[in-house]
Structure 1
Amino acid sequence: MAEQQPSVLLNTGAQMPLLGLGTFRLRGPEETHRVIDAALAAGYRAFDTAAVYRNEADLGSALRDLLPKHGLTRGDIFITSKLGPQDQGSRASAGCAQSLEQLGFEYIDLYLVHWPGTQGLRVGDQQNPRNRAESWAVLERFHADGKFRAIGVSNYTPGHLKELLQVCRVPPAVLQVEFHPKLAQRELRALCRETGVCFQAYSSLGTGALLTDPAVLAVAAGCGRSPAQVLLRWAVQQGVPVLPKSSQPERAVENGRVFDFHLSEEDMGKLSALDCGEKYCWDPTAVA
């Protein structure tokens, strides 16, 4: 990876790297330190965590220890974290403060509402939209105080996003959702383009299921790349930021090699033709 990797311009004026390391699988300080060390050496400059991952403290500690080793400062990296569903609504302020404390930095580059629902409530409970609104108001306050440089949402449907856009004072900078060739999210992507929200992908590999898909394997064989690299390249070639996750340093490095090759229009079409609306992760469509 080049030292200055490609990025996208957020509606805050900040640049967010097109490639970030998802840390969902990282467990414990030793594993976290090892993977973050390899990722920084490979050129990763964005790191995605969440309260529910229970590794914010380990990530913050690893970055503080490793940034000087790699000749970097806090300003050279982009950290994303998320408000857990258990803190939606009245507990949002405490949840936001805890993420800041756990990471141990003065600010977080991007902070997201992780899920449109609230832990402990039924998906159809009409308290969910009220809790979302309360959480967003809290994120806006942390944003105004400079603690969150940008704020956004994750796992929102078009309906949830439209609801937020109608009432927010600070528009979301990012929408992070499941996105891969079998789930092209056309409606959400169009809405994000229309409203200036950056559309960001997670689960680009379909939780691993797409790594053995015949069409993906054929494209990978044709260009001499791994199936994972092909799937990630399919997204970034469309300008969609990705967050591949791995607890194996060598795999994280391999996944990061997505800017030194190009998929042909034919190969892009073969992958895009897989779209069938299949979800491998959380499905937020029933959340009121």
Structure 2
Amino acid sequence: MACSSLTIALNNGVQMPMIGFGTFTIQGQSLITKVLDAALASGYRSIDTACVYRNETEIGKALKDLLPKYKLQRSDVFITSKLAPSDHGKERVRQAVLDSLNRLNTPYLDLYLIHWPGAGRIASQSPSNKNLRIETWLELEKLQKEGKLRSIGVSNFLESHLKELFAFCTIKPAVNQVELHPHFPQKELVVFCRREGILVQAYSSLGGHSSHLLLADPAVQKVAKKEGKTVSQILLRWALQQQIGVIPKSTHSERIKENIRLDFTLSSESMSALSSLKTNQKYAWDPRSVV
């Protein structure tokens, strides 16, 4: 059984599915249509993309064809996209949002995230990053008030970036999407975001697309065997059980189906085992150098 009905209210009241379908590195019309067909058939009602994934146009075309197939309306699916680092700043962010809306063939996005705290072509230690973040966020607030974005949030933001944002924002981020898994649990950031009413959504839940170290971790495999589930299901459920959203991706229909079948509960012993792994390893880009 799938967990397609599992949703959470964001801090602005918008209901967001806790399990989304990730599309990072999935490109080409035929492949996008194939995987979204499998995802919708399996019960996914949330799709995560970004400008830099270069697949928004293909997703828009696929949904135009697939939504009627499953008797779905646009309002039945939750679509997230993200601002490219090169589009930070008041002059560029509005056009970037309008371009994403056009490519995705939708009048609004359910969630739009600042993909990275740093701006493209600017040194990570430059104070310009902060100024551009401020400009970007204030323009996103306007776009939300105009109805083009139902919710706005951030990705890869540290506690320091969020505190800085709180000093000037009138709308708090609804979501902070970050790398998070048992090898990189980000416990302090999760506590901070929860206290501030920001939903943490995990990417690279399985350890990243270029590494299999987490999937092969003997402790993780031991829990999977004990619980009678796949390693992927165990890792995704570990996050969900902490009220952390997940966006697993796959191009294989059986894995797509498997990754949303998370309607089980991990024992406290299994949760503890996964939360206390000795390995501390980040597998994706690292925002700690961005001021």
Assess same fold via TM > 0.5: yes
Q: Which letter maps to 1:52?
A: V
Distance 2:186 2:167 in 1: 21
Matched, 1:26 2:26: yes
Q: How does 1:36-47 map to 2 (within 5 A)?
A: 36-47=36-47
Distance 1:14 1:107 in 2: 14
Give per-residue Cα distances to partners, 1:99-133, cap 9 Å, x unaligned.
11111101000000000001111110110001111
Q: Which moved more, 1:72-81 or 1:269-278?
A: 269-278
Give per-residue Cα distances to partners, 1:28-50, cap 9 Å, x unaligned.
11000000001101000000000
Runs of 4 or more, structure 1, over 6 Å off, are: none
Q: Which letter maps to 2:6?
A: P
Q: Retained in 1: the 8 A contact 2:116–2:157?
A: yes
Q: How does 1:3-152 map to 2 (within 5 A)?
A: 5-89=5-89, 90-152=91-153
Q: Which one of the candidate residues 230, 233, 243 is aligned to 2:234?
A: 230
Distance 1:47 1:275 in 2: 33
1:62 aligned counterpart, secondary structure: helix
Q: Which moved more, 1:41-50 or 1:133-142?
A: 133-142
Q: Retained in 2: the 8 A contact 1:113–1:152?
A: yes
Distance 2:31 2:24 in 1: 12
Q: Which moved more, 1:229-238 or 1:275-284?
A: 275-284
Percent of residue pairs identical: 50
The offset of 1:255, in angstroms, is 1.2
Q: Which one of the candidate residues 237, 244, 247 is aligned to 1:240?
A: 244
Q: Which letter maps to 1:213?
A: D
The offset of 1:2, in angstroms, is 4.3
Q: Retained in 1: the 8 A contact 2:2–2:260?
A: no
Distance 1:280 1:206 in 2: 6
2:69 aligned counterpart, secondary structure: coil
Seen in structure 2, the aligned counterparts of structure 1 residues 47 and 139 have a Cα distance that, compared at 3 Å, is same
Distance 1:29 1:269 in 2: 42
The offset of 1:276, in angstroms, is 4.7
Matched, 1:166 2:167: yes
Q: Which one of the candidate residues 273, 277, 287 is aligned to 2:276?
A: 273
Q: Retained in 2: the 8 A contact 1:174–1:199?
A: yes
Distance 1:17 1:23 in 2: 16
Q: Retained in 1: the 8 A contact 2:4–2:17?
A: no
Q: Retained in 1: the 8 A contact 2:4–2:44?
A: no
Structure-1 residue corresponding to 2:286: 283
Q: Which letter maps to 1:254?
A: E
Q: Which letter maps to 2:219?
A: A
Q: Which one of the candidate residues 220, 223, 226 is aligned to 2:224?
A: 220
Give per-residue Cα distances to partners, 1:36-86, cap 9 Å, x unaligned.
001101000000000000001111111111011111111111000000001
2:246 aligned counterpart, secondary structure: coil
Structure-2 residue corresponding to 1:202: 203
The offset of 1:247, in angstroms, is 2.0
Give per-residue Cα distances to partners, 1:177-202, cap 9 Å, x unaligned.
00101111122111111111111111
Distance 1:218 1:276 in 2: 16
2:170 aligned counterpart, secondary structure: coil
The offset of 1:12, in angstroms, is 1.1
Seen in structure 2, the aligned counterparts of structure 1 residues 181 and 3 have a Cα distance that, compared at 3 Å, is closer
Distance 2:134 2:182 in 1: 32
Distance 1:277 1:162 in 2: 25
2:214 aligned counterpart, secondary structure: helix
2:205 aligned counterpart, secondary structure: coil
Distance 2:180 2:3 in 1: 26
Q: How does 1:150-189 map to 2 (within 5 A)?
A: 150-189=151-190
Seen in structure 2, the aligned counterparts of structure 1 residues 278 and 3 have a Cα distance that, compared at 3 Å, is closer
TM-score after normalising by structure 2: 0.96
2:113 aligned counterpart, secondary structure: strand
Q: Which moved more, 1:266-275 or 1:140-149?
A: 266-275
Distance 1:37 1:172 in 2: 31
